[in-house]
């Protein structure tokens, strides 16, 4: 797997992605495996009308595209767009926030994945973005989410050799992954999601519920505020 091919993937948006195989529709958010990605500490269950803290920041974020991967609850009334970055040492905090939302508001929030690939052309960052996308193409949204958990748990081990091992452990077709590094199949969704992040000022690692930026330490605040807005 070559860094030159990776840079070409992220710099080119001219080739459409290969149509994905039909994944199994997501039903519920898979629980975190033992010892992976849950984040430190515990969160307090959501309570109606909870005070304290500041109001969540609102972003001019468009609705997700129809082909964006849905991690869980495809028919839920609220939408949370996930711009998660497994290379960030704080990625476990975002995972813990997603788990807390699903626990405290079961079935109420549709989690939609947005790709947040690096634009610096480095092997590690471009590689993990392609691995996530290829996991989704081969096995569906649940496989993408599990791969993100794996990458997050090993955020300091994202070399190309590491990524190849994670792909094999997940029983992915490594030949297809290798091909994805050079055939531009994900260039279009990567560029689209990067553009949304840039235009709306979405930080990497963000969870946006409706148009509200969730605080990983208090994710229920954004869910309650978004739910109140929908109810109006």
Instruction: Tell me the C-alpha distance between 160 and 29, whole Å.
Output: 28
Digit-coded pLDDT (tens) for 128-157: 999 999 999 999 999 999 999 999 999 999
pLDDT for res 232: 74
d(CA 117, CA 5): 15
- Residue 7: inside a domain: yes
CA-based angle 205:210:215, to the nearest 5? 40
Question: Which of 9-23, 105-119, 122-136 has the highest average model confidence (pLDDT)?
Answer: 105-119
| Total domains in the fold of the chain | 1
Q: What is the mean pLDDT of the chain?
A: 82
pLDDT number for residue 175: 96
Whether residue 17 lies inside any domain: the answer is no
In this prediction the pTM is: 0.77
Specify the pLDDT at position 126.
73
Average pLDDT over residues 35-47: 41
Angle between helical axes of 187-200 and 123-139 (0-180°, round to 10): 110
DSSP letter for each residue of 10-31: HH---SPPPPPP-PPPP-SPPP
Between 106 and 25, the higher pLDDT residue:
106
Does residue 52 belong to any structural domain of this protein? no
- pLDDT band at residue 124 under the 50/70/90 scheme: very low
Instruction: Provide the b/e sequence for 170-204 (b: ≥16 CB within 10 Å).
Output: bebebeebbebbebbbbbebbbbbbebbeebebee
Q: Domain limits at 90?
A: 3-11+59-231
Q: Is 37 inside a domain boundary?
A: no
CATH of the domain at 191: 3.40.30.10
- Residue 58, helix vs strand vs coil: strand
Query: 10 Å Cβ neighbour count for 75?
Result: 7
The reply to whether 27 falls in a domain is no
Residues 57-63: what's their mean pLDDT?
94
Kind and range of the H or E run holding 80:
strand 78-83
d(CA 57, CA 211): 8
pLDDT of residue 168: 98
**Would 33 be classed as within a structural domain?**
no
- pLDDT tens figures, 168-222: 999 999 999 999 988 889 989 999 999 999 999 999 999 999 999 999 999 999 9
Q: Which residue reads 């995972």 in tokens?
A: 95
Alpha-carbon distances of 144 from 23, 98, 151, 152, rounded to whole Å: 11, 15, 10, 12
| pLDDT for residue 165 is more than 80 | yes
Decide if 151 is inside a domain: yes
Does residue 118 lie in a domain region?
yes
pLDDT at residue 31 tops 60: no
Task: HSE, CB side, 13 Å, CA atoms: give it for residue 138.
Answer: 22
């Amino acid at each position: 797997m070559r860094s030159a091919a990776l840079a070409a993937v992220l710099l080119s948006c001219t080739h459409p992605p290969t149509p994905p195989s039909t994944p199994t529709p997501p039903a519920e958010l898979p629980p975190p495996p033992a010892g992976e990605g849950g984040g430190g500490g515990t969160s307090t269950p959501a309570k109606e009308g909870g005070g304290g803290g500041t109001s969540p920041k609102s972003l001019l974020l468009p609705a997700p595209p129809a082909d964006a991967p849905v991690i869980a609850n495809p028919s839920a009334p609220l939408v949370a767009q996930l711009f998660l970055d497994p290379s960030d040492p704080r990625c476990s905090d975002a995972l813990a926030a997603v788990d807390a939302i699903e626990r405290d508001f079961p079935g109420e929030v549709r989690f939609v994945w947005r790709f947040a690939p690096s634009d610096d052309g480095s092997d590690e960052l471009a590689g993990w973005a392609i691995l996530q996308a290829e996991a989704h193409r081969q096995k569906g949204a649940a496989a993408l989410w599990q791969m993100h958990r794996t990458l997050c748990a090993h955020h300091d081990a994202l070399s190309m050799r590491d990524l190849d091992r994670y792909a094999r452990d997940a029983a992915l077709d490594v030949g297809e992954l290798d091909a994805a590094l050079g055939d531009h199949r994900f260039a279009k969704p990567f560029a689209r999601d990067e553009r949304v992040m840039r235009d709306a000022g979405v930080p990497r690692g963000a969870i946006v519920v409706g148009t509200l930026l969730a605080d990983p330490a208090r994710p229920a605040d954004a869910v309650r505020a978004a739910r109140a807005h929908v109810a109006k």
